[in-house]
C-alpha cells in the first residue's frame, strides 16, 4: 500500500483505475479497446455526453453555462481566455496569488492590457490579498482559486461586478461554490478529475463573440460549443477516465459530501502541524488550502530525515515545491482520510523520537 500525496498527476479512485484498465482491454463488451475506438462512434459520443452532463449536474450549472473538454492543459487556457475575451484596447484585472496567476498574467499581456489588482508577492504568497479594488471597466477579473505551489486558497470568492474568470485546476469539484457566478472556469484534469491530457472549461456563452480580433478556429470557444466539444479528435481516453471519476463522485454524494471529507482531512493534518513542536504551517491560517497543505520544520536540518521516515512508511509525494521548500501534502478528493492518518502518525512518531 502506497500513500500518494502527489500534487498532480495525482491519486484517483481505485475503482476508476479498475474500470479504466478493463476498458483498455474491452470497452463495454464491444471487443474494442477504448484506445482504438473512433471518436465519432455512438459508443464514444455516449461517453462525451455523460461526462458533460455529469459536470452540469454536479456543479448545478444553468443553461447559459456550457461544458467543454479541451486539449492543452490549463496553461493553454492562460492564453485562450484572453484571446477570446480581451480586445487589445481593453484592460483585464488579475489577482497575483502565485506562480500560476503570474503565468496567466504573462499570456494575457499578449492580447490586451492587464492590471494586477493585488499581489501576495511581498510576503512570498503566504496569504491571499485582502484589500483591493477591481476597476469597474475591467473586461474581466481573473483569480486562481487554489494555489497549488504555495498552499493558499480563496476561502471566500471575492464579490465583483466584473465578469469572473477562475483557474480552478487544483480545487475543482472539491467544495460547493456558486459555479454559475463565474463566467468562465477552467481546470487541468490531473488533480481532482482525471488523468493529464484534458482540460475542463465551463463558460457562460453570453460573454463570447464580443471582441474584434479574429480567433483561430480551434481556439474559438464558440466552435467547440457548436460542435459539442468534438470539433476535432478529443483526448478520448482522458475524457473517459474523467467520466468515470465524475460517476464516482456522484455515487459518493457529489461535491457537498466530498467537501465534508476534504474538510476533515485538512483539519486532521493542520491540527497535527499546529500541535507538533517540530512542524509549522507556511500559510496564514484563514487562507490555508484544503487541497495542498504546505509545512516546514523549525529545524530545517531534520527535513531530509523526516522525508526518509515518510518514505519508509510508504508515503510519497510530500516533498515541497522548490519555491517553498519543506513539505506539501496534496489531499485531493480521492485520497482517503486513512492516508492522512498515516502521515499524521508518522509525524507524531518522528516527534517522539526527536523529543
Ligand atoms: C492552479 C494551476 N493552474 C495551472 C496549472 C498548469 O496546468 P497544466 O500543466 O495542465 O498546463 C497548474 C499545474 O499544476 C495548476 O496547479
**Residue owning the nearest CA to atom 16 of ligand 1:** 148
Beta strands 327-330 and 292-297 are antiparallel
pTM of this prediction? Answer: 0.98
Q: In the structure grid, which three cell numbers stand for residue 81, read together?
A: 481566455
CA–CA dist 27, 239 (Å, integer):
14
> In angstroms, what is the span from residue 300 Cα to ligand 1's centroid?
28
Q: Is 136 left (phi over 0), alpha (psi -120 to 50) or beta?
A: alpha
For residue 261, the model assigns a pLDDT of 98
Dihedral angle over CA of 176, 178, 184, 186, nearest 10: 0
154 is catalytic: no
CA distances from 152 to 102, 234, 289 (A): 15, 32, 5
For residue 266, the model assigns a pLDDT of 98
For residue 85, the model assigns a pLDDT of 98
Catalytic residue among 183, 191, 220, 290: 191
Q: Return the bridge partners of 328, or none.
A: 294
Q: What is the pLDDT of residues 255-278, one digit of tens each?
A: 999 999 999 999 999 999 999 999
- pLDDT in tens for each of the 355 residues of the chain? 999 999 999 999 999 999 999 999 999 999 999 999 999 999 999 999 999 999 999 999 999 999 999 999 999 999 999 999 999 999 999 999 999 999 999 999 999 999 999 999 999 999 999 999 999 999 999 999 999 999 999 999 999 999 999 999 999 999 999 999 999 999 999 999 999 999 999 999 999 999 999 999 999 999 999 999 999 999 999 999 999 999 999 999 999 999 999 999 999 999 999 999 999 999 999 999 999 999 999 998 999 999 999 999 999 999 999 999 999 999 999 999 999 999 999 999 999 999 8
Q: In the structure grid, which three cell numbers stand for residue 232, read together?
A: 476535432
Asked whether 145 lines ligand 1 (CB < 6 A), one says no
**Residue owning the nearest CA to atom 4 of ligand 1:** 74
Asked whether 8 lines ligand 1 (CB < 6 A), one says yes
Give the position, in ligand 1's atom list, of the atom nearest the Cα of 146. Answer: 1
Asked whether 287 lines ligand 1 (CB < 6 A), one says no
CA distances from 19 to 32, 205, 243, 249, 279 (A): 15, 34, 11, 14, 39
For residue 57, the model assigns a pLDDT of 98
Asked whether 326 lines ligand 1 (CB < 6 A), one says no
Q: Return the bridge partners of 43, or none.
A: none
191 is catalytic: yes
For residue 355, the model assigns a pLDDT of 83
Long-range contacts (CB closer than 8 Å, 24 or more residues apart) made by 163-167: 163/85, 163/139, 163/204, 163/207, 164/140, 165/81, 165/85, 165/140, 165/141, 166/142, 167/74, 167/77, 167/100, 167/101, 167/104, 167/142, 167/143
For residue 333, the model assigns a pLDDT of 98
CA distances from 146 to 73, 96, 101, 151, 182 (A): 16, 12, 10, 7, 15
Asked whether 9 lines ligand 1 (CB < 6 A), one says no
> In angstroms, what is the span from residue 222 Cα to ligand 1's centroid?
23
Asked whether 96 lines ligand 1 (CB < 6 A), one says no
Amino acid at each position: 500500500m502506497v500513500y500518494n500525496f502527489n500534487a498532480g498527476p495525482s491519486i484517483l479512485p481505485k475503482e476508476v483505475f479498475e474500470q479504466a484498465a478493463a476498458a483498455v482491454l474491452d470497452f463495454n463488451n464491444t471487443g474494442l479497446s477504448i484506445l482504438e475506438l473512433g471518436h465519432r462512434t455512438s459508443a464514444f459520443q455516449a461517453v462525451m455526453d455523460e461526462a458533460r452532463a455529469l459536470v452540469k449536474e454536479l456543479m448545478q450549472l444553468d443553461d447559459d453555462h456550457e461544458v467543454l473538454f479541451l486539449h492543452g492543459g490549463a496553461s493553454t487556457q492562460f492564453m485562450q481566455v484572453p484571446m477570446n475575451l480581451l480586445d487589445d484596447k481593453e484592460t483585464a484585472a488579475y489577482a497575483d496569488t502565485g506562480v500560476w496567476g503570474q503565468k496567466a498574467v504573462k499570456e494575457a499581456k499578449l492580447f490586451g492590457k492587464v492590471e494586477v489588482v493585488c499581489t501576495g508577492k511581498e510576503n512570498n504568497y503566504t496569504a491571499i490579498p485582502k484589500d483591493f479594488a477591481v476597476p469597474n471597466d475591467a473586461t474581466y477579473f481573473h483569480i486562481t482559486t487554489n494555489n497549488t505551489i504555495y498552499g493558499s486558497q480563496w476561502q471566500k470568492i471575492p464579490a465583483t461586478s466584473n465578469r469572473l474568470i477562475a483557474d480552478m485546476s487544483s480545487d475543482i469539484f472539491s467544495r460547493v461554490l456558486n459555479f454559475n457566478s463565474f463566467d468562465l472556469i477552467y481546470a487541468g484534469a490531473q488533480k481532482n478529475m482525471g488523468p493529464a491530457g484534458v482540460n475542463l472549461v465551463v463558460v457562460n456563452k453570453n460573454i463570447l463573440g464580443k471582441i474584434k480580433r479574429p480567433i483561430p478556429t480551434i481556439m474559438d470557444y464558440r466552435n467547440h460549443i457548436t460542435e459539442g466539444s468534438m470539433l476535432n479528435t478529443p483526448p478520448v481516453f482522458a475524457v473517459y477516465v474523467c467520466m468515470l471519476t465524475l460517476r464516482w463522485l456522484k455515487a459518493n454524494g457529489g461535491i457537498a459530501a466530498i467537501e465534508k471529507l476534504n474538510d476533515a482531512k485538512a483539519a486532521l493534518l493542520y491540527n497535527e502541524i499546529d500541535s507538533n513542536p517540530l512542524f509549522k504551517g507556511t500559510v496564514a491560517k484563514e487562507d490555508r488550502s484544503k487541497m495542498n497543505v504546505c509545512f516546514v520544520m523549525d529545524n530545517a536540518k531534520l527535513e531530509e530525515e523526516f522525508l526518509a521516515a515518510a518514505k519508509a512508511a510508504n508515503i510519497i509525494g510530500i516533498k515541497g515545491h522548490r519555491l517553498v521548500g519543506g513539505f506539501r501534502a496534496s489531499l485531493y478528493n480521492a485520497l482517503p482520510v486513512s492516508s492522512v492518518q498515516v502521515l499524521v502518525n508518522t509525524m507524531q512518531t518522528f516527534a517522539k523520537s526527536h523529543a
